[in-house]
A and B are shown apart, each in its own frame.
Chain A
Amino acid sequence: MFNRDRWKEILEVLTSNWFRTVLTAFGVFWGIFILILLLSAGKGLENGIMQDFGDISTNTMFMWSRSTTKSYKGLPKGRSFLFKVEDVQSIRDNVPELKFISPRNQLGDFNGANNVVRGIKTGAYNVYGDYPEISKQDPMTMTSGRFLNYNDIKEKRKIAIIGEGVRAGLYDKDEEVLGSFIKIQGVNFMVVGTYKKKSNDGDGEEGQKQIFVPFTTFSQAFNRGNDVGWMAITANDGTSITSLKDKIMGVVKESHKVHPDDQRAVGHFDLYEQFQRVQSLFGALRFIAYFVGILVLLSGIIGVSNIMLIVVKERTKEIGIRRALGEDPWSIKLQILMESIFLTIISGMAGITLGALFIYGVNTLLDISGPVDMFVNPSVSLGVVVGALIILIFSGLLAGFIPAQSAIKVRPIDALRTE
């Protein structure tokens, strides 16, 4: 199968009509090229959107209270209420499948007024009262010092962890941050850590401009009593938060005397559901890429098959001669199949190579021109390339099968008839 004469002959046949060979090869080349481009574009989009999700634990929901829209147990509708610290424990008791329940309070918002002062510098930042678990739900990298712990909660320490963005706004470049004090709405906090985190909001700036203080300290310092602004709730791996959220909201509705069918009293955002939606979108994109790519490839294969049929027709007499001289029919079949596979693989490899070069070019361009929204590092995995090669070998076999069959169907005497 791999002897020199066989290959010599394959090359002789394929090079005897260059123009036709190249035209034929182009079909397969184009199919693979399109497939690779579509897959990598899909990957680029996926990377871009996944980056927007950041490191955030995706099996998470956020929940906050609004006002009731149904009267219940003698209470009127339109009543507003707030979650309480006790709700955390009752959710934990009633829904055991949860990993983290973080009650949160918050000061400031995106375009808020300056609320943090340090010496003569001021800034507007989001300040959160949090439990230590929040760092597992919305992961961050400590760049110095430490994050919150339970002693901070218990002792209501006046400490703060600030983002690198806050540091840049309130400190000079080489200034020591740890141990220094900042004033949040008139209350002094000592900075014990700085962090950086992957963005979950596009450009990544906002994520670095947050300040975390112990939940209990926050409640006391800013007079929140037992109130909880909102909660970040993460389910155990293997259980989706989506399947638990009705149960969770049921618990808080019950304890706040909200009608069980009141859909609007408790607001929530289900990150998992969103994530799944995006995931299935990428699944669909990948499917489309494969579908279109393989269809184009298929037309290329049909082209190869057609040309091979013509080649076999043209070589009918030659095949007849070879069979009269005693070549095994199997050997002829193998020859045609190998020609077809060889042609398919060569043109496919060209398609893969050019596709890869193209992607490389796009990446270089992206690097030069700076990041593009929702499109990061388009690429194809090695798995896809290996898969494409397998598809190619299979395609070549498929393309050569009918011509090979027709090559040995002709009887030598018919092929050799002089007239």
Chain B
Amino acid sequence: MIEIKDLHKSYKMGSNSLHVLKGLNFSIAEGELVAIMGSSGSGKSTLLNILGMLDEADSGTYDLDGVPIKNLNETKAAKYRNRFLGFIFQSFNLINYKSAMENVALPLYYQKVPRKEREEKALKYLAQVGLKEWAGHLPNELSGGQKQRVAIARALAAEPKVLMADEPTGALDSKTSYEVMDLIQKINDEGNTILVVTHEEDIAHMCKRIVHLKDGVIVEDKKVEQVRAAQYVK
């Protein structure tokens, strides 16, 4: 599903440049649940942004579902993001003057799906994350965990090939974190490919594979026995 080869990225800051990604290689198959682990500043978000087509690598190749991702203009990148990817952010990034349902329907709106169909789908995914009754509420009427579940529903709405989550539990307490991870695991159980960026060991071990990043290189890439989050959720 995802294949990167010799990916490099550095940030220019004035005269000196910061080499953040120093030649990464890996591939992710369909249906995997991969954690990208590493301490703060190790380049996890940078990697995820490149995979998410929000940023571009300096060199190396990136193929998504067989499509080479290269030299995209903004219009095309937006279109690819919309069709192929679903994002989940640490700070939820819901649009605060739109209701939960409208937020979930947003990616479908950009696909020009008709209003009625859009709303039906949005309700379906809200139901899947257990928030059907909250469809008409604004984000500031929801708790942190609920917000993240709305964000997950939104990421699912466009039925993307890959879900990308950057520290999805970073802003949540541990109980809510496990609830969110439980949801992510269930979505993965249905065959969705998911990437989770985290610096927390316990969250990483709830995935099926851990790619360990340190100082811009992959120091470890291993399959793990998945810890089910459900056991911590009462």
A and B part of one assembly = yes
Contacts of B54 in A (CB 8 A): 324, 411-413, 416
C-alpha spacing A411/B52, complex, angstroms:
13
Contact partner of B154 (CB less than 8 A), chosen from A317, A325, A411, is A325
Stretch among B18-26, B84-92, B206-214 lining the A interface: B84-92
Stretch among A94-102, A188-196, A327-335, A370-378 lining the B interface: A327-335
C-alpha spacing A271/B167, complex, angstroms:
87
Q: Which residues of B78-123 are within 8 A (CB) of A?
A: 78-83, 87, 89-91, 93-97, 106-107, 109-111, 115
Contact partner of A328 (CB less than 8 A), chosen from B95, B110, B154, is B110
Say yes or no: A413 contacts B55, CB within 8 Å: yes
C-alpha spacing A412/B53, complex, angstroms:
10
Interface of A: prevailing SS:
helix
- Contact code string B1-30 (vs A, CB < 8 Å = 1, else 0): 000000000000000000000000000000
Q: Is B220 an interface residue (CB 8 A)?
A: no
C-alpha spacing A416/B97, complex, angstroms:
17
Contacts of B79 in A (CB 8 A): 326, 328
Contacts of B61 in A (CB 8 A): none
Min CB gap A311→B, angstroms:
12
Contact partner of A329 (CB less than 8 A), chosen from B49, B78, B89, is B78
C-alpha spacing A5/B119, complex, angstroms:
13
C-alpha spacing A331/B31, complex, angstroms:
33
Say yes or no: B74 contacts A325, CB within 8 Å: no
Indicate whether A326 sits within 8 Å of B82 (C-beta atoms), given known contacts A321-B93, A418-B90: yes
Q: Is A12 an interface residue (CB 8 A)?
A: yes
Contacts of A16 in B (CB 8 A): 97
C-alpha spacing A412/B81, complex, angstroms:
12
Q: Is A201 an interface residue (CB 8 A)?
A: no
Say yes or no: A416 contacts B78, CB within 8 Å: no
Contact partner of B78 (CB less than 8 A), chosen from A4, A13, A323, A418, is A323
Contact partner of A322 (CB less than 8 A), chosen from B52, B91, B95, is B95
Q: Is A318 an interface residue (CB 8 A)?
A: yes
Q: Is A408 an interface residue (CB 8 A)?
A: yes
Min CB gap A18→B, angstroms:
14
Say yes or no: A325 contacts B107, CB within 8 Å: yes
C-alpha spacing A13/B52, complex, angstroms:
29
Q: Is B75 an interface residue (CB 8 A)?
A: yes
Chain B interfacial residues counted at CB < 8 A:
29
Say yes or no: B78 contacts A327, CB within 8 Å: yes
Say yes or no: B107 contacts A326, CB within 8 Å: yes
Indicate whether A324 sits within 8 Å of B75 (C-beta atoms), given known contacts A413-B49, A418-B91: no
B54, B81, B94, B154 — most chain A CB neighbours (10 Å):
B54
C-alpha spacing A324/B81, complex, angstroms:
7
Say yes or no: A329 contacts B106, CB within 8 Å: no
Contacts of B93 in A (CB 8 A): 317, 320-321, 324, 416
Chain A interfacial residues counted at CB < 8 A:
25
Say yes or no: A325 contacts B87, CB within 8 Å: yes
Contacts of A12 in B (CB 8 A): 97
Contacts of A418 in B (CB 8 A): 89-91
C-alpha spacing A317/B79, complex, angstroms:
19
Say yes or no: A329 contacts B74, CB within 8 Å: yes
Say yes or no: B97 contacts A325, CB within 8 Å: no
- Contact code string A324-356 (vs B, CB < 8 Å = 1, else 0): 111111110000000000000000000000000
C-alpha spacing A321/B52, complex, angstroms:
13
Contacts of B96 in A (CB 8 A): 318
Say yes or no: A330 contacts B75, CB within 8 Å: yes
CB-nearest residue of chain A to B81: A326
C-alpha spacing A91/B78, complex, angstroms:
83
C-alpha spacing A416/B96, complex, angstroms:
15
Min CB gap B165→A, angstroms:
13
Contacts of B154 in A (CB 8 A): 325
Contact partner of A416 (CB less than 8 A), chosen from B74, B89, B107, B110, is B89
Say yes or no: A326 contacts B49, CB within 8 Å: no
CB-nearest residue of chain B to A325: B107
Say yes or no: A327 contacts B110, CB within 8 Å: yes
C-alpha spacing A81/B110, complex, angstroms:
92
C-alpha spacing A329/B87, complex, angstroms:
18
Min CB gap B233→A, angstroms:
26
Contacts of A412 in B (CB 8 A): 54
Q: Which residues of A1-35 are within 8 A (CB) of B?
A: 4-5, 12-13, 16
Q: Which residues of A290-342 are within 8 A (CB) of B?
A: 317-318, 320-331
C-alpha spacing A330/B78, complex, angstroms:
11
Contacts of A329 in B (CB 8 A): 74-75, 78
Contacts of A331 in B (CB 8 A): 110
C-alpha spacing A118/B147, complex, angstroms:
102
Contacts of A320 in B (CB 8 A): 93
13 further contact pairs, Cβ within 8 A, besides A321-B93, A323-B78, A326-B107: A5-B109, A320-B93, A322-B106, A324-B81, A325-B81, A325-B106, A328-B78, A328-B79, A328-B110, A330-B75, A408-B74, A411-B55, A412-B54
7 example contacts (A-B, Cβ-Cβ < 8 A) are as follows A318-B95, A318-B96, A325-B106, A326-B79, A326-B111, A327-B82, A418-B91
